[in-house]
Amino acid sequence: MIDLVVGIDLGTTNSEIAAYVGDRVRLLGSGTKMLPSCVGFSPTGELLVGQAARNQQILYPERTVRSVKRRMGMQEAVPLGDKTFTPQEISALILRELVQWARSEFGQPVEKAVITVPAYFSDAQRTATREAGMLAGLEVVRILNEPTAASLAYGFGDASRHTAMIYDLGGGTFDVSVVTAEGEVTEVLASHGNNHLGGDDFDDLLLERLEQEFERLYGIDLRHGHAAAHARLWWAAEEAKKKLSFEPYVRVREENLVIQNGKALHLDLELSRTEYEEMILRLVESTLDSVSKTLSDAGKGASDLDAILLVGGSTRTPLISRLLRERSGIEPRQDVHPDLCVALGAGVLASRLAGHEVERVLVDISPYSFGPSHLGDRGGVLYPHCYRPIIHRNTPLPITRTESYWTAASYQKVVHVEIYQGEDEDALKNILVGDFRVEGLQPTEEPNEVLCRMSLDVDGILHVTATEKQTGKSKHITVANALQTKTAAEIEAARQRLKMLYSRRAQSFDDSFETREGQVASAPDLRAEVEGESVASASPPSEILLRRAGMEAVSDARRLIDRSRRLLEKMHPDDKEEAIGLHESIETAIDAGDPATLEKAIKDLGELLFFVEGQ
């Protein structure tokens, strides 16, 4: 007889519930399947749990409780309206709501649960979590550490031994742990964190920026006496933050925020990801300090890690994976949805305890990377077929991502966009899946910005749109079956098509193109529909898109030097000498416009700091 056991992530910001349904572990509930960990009473005295409570939180803070997880294990009363509750009671209300979701799914009562807690939770906090479960009518069969749950979701509970780092940044808390997993046993070797750092702090920084802009325009400080406008901008800030994870720009447009002397005042502001990253950099850097400390406490180096797993909604912020990759040399994994990963891992253990054979969580991911080719630096020379994916392999589907590119020549009126599938930095060693031209661009002397947006869904349909940012002029193609395995004949057809595109350079193309094993699985879909005219036979350099990697590198380099200067005093004299030498190399490379040397010096300094910070 198979029991019904559910896995629950009782989170600081959101909570989720998972169980074995059909043939796999799945999240229960509708919509996003995330329940905001908020409880409140409406002005009419109605109990609100989840989204409804969160909606009123900024307007009625005294009637709403959030982040109760931070108070678990404390002997303090939590005021809510005209009543008081224990932290366990508030948590029990959240658990009860989740259990209700499960009950609707299964049509039967749910009695047993695995509940996750942070690795650093004390006995008192664990006991309080158990009590919350009991108050919600549950038998808590296991209290499971969150990093262990994440490693179970990724299938690290099999026979071989794995060492993984779990970087978990949620709404209000940050934790990083190094774990080893072998069979049923997972050990947390070291853990660090900050109980008061998370995506909410990113929201606050963006909110400050929006309110400053409003004050600059109209001289009104929305933080005082304008609760409704303040609440609207708070929502707008979080929405803008989420969008900036996928788009290079976001437009915040809030109309009628305040009526002054009968006149409606609006806010209309564009924010760039670069500006946003500058705002949050200091906070993200502080998490990387904890990463180094955790590694050093665990007695491990980055090279001992089999994986870095990203957990928590805020790890969708691209700056985080980029900095982790740069500092550790490891591509962090996000193939299980970061905000659902802990609940799914709890679901894996719950399913096993219920008697199901479950190895790991199954999610739809893209097995390949996709992106356009561009002009960029390769080994110190400009190369027109550089490739950096916009959609990375192993990303959960569906996915939409946009990246910025620039026209390569002054007064350029046309861009020819070639979309590839593959992993090689040389586009010609990947597989061309579609190409198109955008014509009639504004002929500007300065580089003109072109946004390339790619969306891939679970059915393998890839949409690509290139848009001139200044005018909104755009062109779109759809590639069907982008994920389908192709035959050798189709791959040969792809090869011929690419050859035709580069007929003027056929010789060099023949030399450079080789289909590699492992990249052969998919070829261009020859039915790619190109809106408008037919494809040009060759793409002269003046139609190429430029990726401004050089400019990104300069700002990265300056930040890195600042960080390094702050650490100089703490460095061993040899390291200090090396760091100062690298500062000079970086400055010289920037002055000389030498991207290859710049990139190498950035890499070397990044690695040096990673180790210095770990000491």
Question: Which of residues 146 and 613 has its CB atom nearest to ligand AMP in the complex?
Answer: 146
Question: Which of residues 37 and 290 has its CB atom nearest to ligand AMP in the complex?
Answer: 37
Question: Which of residues 283 and 535 has its CB atom nearest to ligand AMP in the complex?
Answer: 283
Question: Which of residues 37 and 366 has its CB atom nearest to ligand AMP in the complex?
Answer: 37
Q: How far is the CB of 244 from ligand AMP (least distance, A)?
A: 7
Q: Are the C-beta atoms of residues 608 and 579 closer than 8 Å to each other?
A: yes
Largest Cα span, the chain: 81
Write out the E strands in 148-304: 162-169, 174-182, 185-194, 249-260, 263-272
Question: Which of residues 14 and 478 has its CB atom nearest to ligand AMP in the complex?
Answer: 14
- Should residue 313 be labelled a site residue for ligand AMP when binding is judged by CB under 6 A? yes
What are the Cα distances from residue 427, in Å, to 423, 496, 503, 515? 9, 15, 16, 12
Q: How far is the CB of 15 from ligand AMP (least distance, A)?
A: 8
- Should residue 317 be labelled a site residue for ligand AMP when binding is judged by CB under 6 A? yes
> Which of 50, 118, 157, 170 forms a contact with ligand AMP (CB under 6 A)?
170
Q: What is the token pair recorded at 400?
A: 């939409």
Question: Which of residues 200 and 335 has its CB atom nearest to ligand AMP in the complex?
Answer: 200
- Should residue 171 be labelled a site residue for ligand AMP when binding is judged by CB under 6 A? yes
**Total binding residues for ligand AMP by CB under 6 A?**
19
Q: How far is the CB of 281 from ligand AMP (least distance, A)?
A: 15
Q: Are the C-beta atoms of residues 437 and 402 closer than 8 Å to each other?
A: no
- Should residue 287 be labelled a site residue for ligand AMP when binding is judged by CB under 6 A? no
- Should residue 248 be labelled a site residue for ligand AMP when binding is judged by CB under 6 A? no
> Which of 91, 145, 314, 402 forms a contact with ligand AMP (CB under 6 A)?
314
Could you check whether the bond before residue 398 is cis, i.e. omega within 30 degrees of 0? yes
Q: How many CB atoms lie within 10 A of CB 45?
A: 9
> Which of 33, 126, 209, 242 forms a contact with ligand AMP (CB under 6 A)?
242
- Should residue 316 be labelled a site residue for ligand AMP when binding is judged by CB under 6 A? yes
Q: What is the token pair recorded at 174?
A: 């940050």
Q: What is the token pair recorded at 38?
A: 């908020």
- Should residue 337 be labelled a site residue for ligand AMP when binding is judged by CB under 6 A? no
- Give Cα 394 distance to the centre of its chain: 13
Q: CA torsion angle for 10, 15, 20, 23 (degrees, to 10)?
A: -140
Task: Encode burial over 496-533: b for 16+ CB neighbours within 10 A, e otherwise.
Answer: ebbeebbeeeeeebeeeeebeeebebbbbbeebeeeee
Question: Which of residues 149 and 427 has its CB atom nearest to ligand AMP in the complex?
Answer: 149
Determine the interface stretch with ligand AMP among 19-27, 271-279, 308-316, 514-522 (rule: CB under 6 A): 308-316
- Should residue 33 be labelled a site residue for ligand AMP when binding is judged by CB under 6 A? no
Question: Which of residues 57 and 245 has its CB atom nearest to ligand AMP in the complex?
Answer: 245
Residue type, 111: E
- Should residue 401 be labelled a site residue for ligand AMP when binding is judged by CB under 6 A? no
* Three-state secondary structure string covering 570-591: HCCHHHHHHHHHHHHHHHHHHH
Determine the interface stretch with ligand AMP among 93-101, 236-244, 283-291, 490-498 (rule: CB under 6 A): 236-244
Question: Which of residues 11 and 389 has its CB atom nearest to ligand AMP in the complex?
Answer: 11
Q: How far is the CB of 263 from ligand AMP (least distance, A)?
A: 33
Contacts of 324 (CB under 8 A, 6+ apart): 167, 288, 291, 308, 310, 330, 332
Question: Which of residues 237 and 482 has its CB atom nearest to ligand AMP in the complex?
Answer: 237
Question: Which of residues 106 and 120 has its CB atom nearest to ligand AMP in the complex?
Answer: 120
Q: What are phi and psi of 156, to 5 degrees?
A: -85, 15
Binding to ligand AMP (CB under 6 A) within 187-226 occurs at 198-200
Q: How far is the CB of 285 from ligand AMP (least distance, A)?
A: 17
Q: Are the C-beta atoms of residues 11 and 170 closer than 8 Å to each other?
A: yes
Q: What is the CA radius of gyration of the chain?
A: 26
β-pair type (474-479, 24-27)? unpaired
Q: How far apart are CA 63 and CA 198, in angstroms?
A: 23
Q: How far is the CB of 203 from ligand AMP (least distance, A)?
A: 7
- Should residue 321 be labelled a site residue for ligand AMP when binding is judged by CB under 6 A? no
Q: How far is the CB of 255 from ligand AMP (least distance, A)?
A: 23
- Should residue 339 be labelled a site residue for ligand AMP when binding is judged by CB under 6 A? yes
Q: How far apart are CA 31 and CA 245, in angstroms?
A: 20
- Should residue 312 be labelled a site residue for ligand AMP when binding is judged by CB under 6 A? yes
Determine the interface stretch with ligand AMP among 311-319, 457-465, 518-526, 529-537 (rule: CB under 6 A): 311-319
Q: How far is the CB of 69 from ligand AMP (least distance, A)?
A: 10
Determine the interface stretch with ligand AMP among 187-195, 229-237, 310-318, 604-612 (rule: CB under 6 A): 310-318
Q: What is the token pair recorded at 402?
A: 């946009």
- Should residue 14 be labelled a site residue for ligand AMP when binding is judged by CB under 6 A? yes
Q: Are the C-beta atoms of residues 414 and 472 closer than 8 Å to each other?
A: no
> Which of 5, 7, 10, 11 forms a contact with ligand AMP (CB under 6 A)?
11
Question: Which of residues 38 and 589 has its CB atom nearest to ligand AMP in the complex?
Answer: 38
Query: Which of 454, 335, 317 shows the shortest CA–CA distance to 396?
Result: 335
Q: What is the token pair recorded at 207?
A: 């909110």
Write out the E strands in 330-398: 370-378, 381-387
Question: Which of residues 51 and 296 has its CB atom nearest to ligand AMP in the complex?
Answer: 51
Contacts of 365 (CB under 8 A, 6+ apart): 335, 393, 394, 395, 396, 397
Question: Which of residues 332 and 524 has its CB atom nearest to ligand AMP in the complex?
Answer: 332
Determine the interface stretch with ligand AMP among 10-18, 271-279, 371-379, 530-538 (rule: CB under 6 A): 10-18
Question: Which of residues 312 and 606 has its CB atom nearest to ligand AMP in the complex?
Answer: 312
Q: What are phi and psi of 322, to 5 degrees?
A: -65, -45
Alpha helices (H) in 154-272, listed in sequence order: 199-218, 227-244
- Should residue 50 be labelled a site residue for ligand AMP when binding is judged by CB under 6 A? no
Q: Are the C-beta atoms of residues 313 and 13 closer than 8 Å to each other?
A: yes
What are the Cα distances from residue 400, in Å, to 244, 296, 390, 453? 12, 37, 9, 7
Determine the interface stretch with ligand AMP among 40-48, 313-321, 427-435, 548-556 (rule: CB under 6 A): 313-321
- Should residue 372 be labelled a site residue for ligand AMP when binding is judged by CB under 6 A? no
User: What residue ranges bind ligand AMP (CB under 6 A)?
Assistant: 11-14, 170-171, 198-200, 238, 241-242, 245, 312-314, 316-317, 339
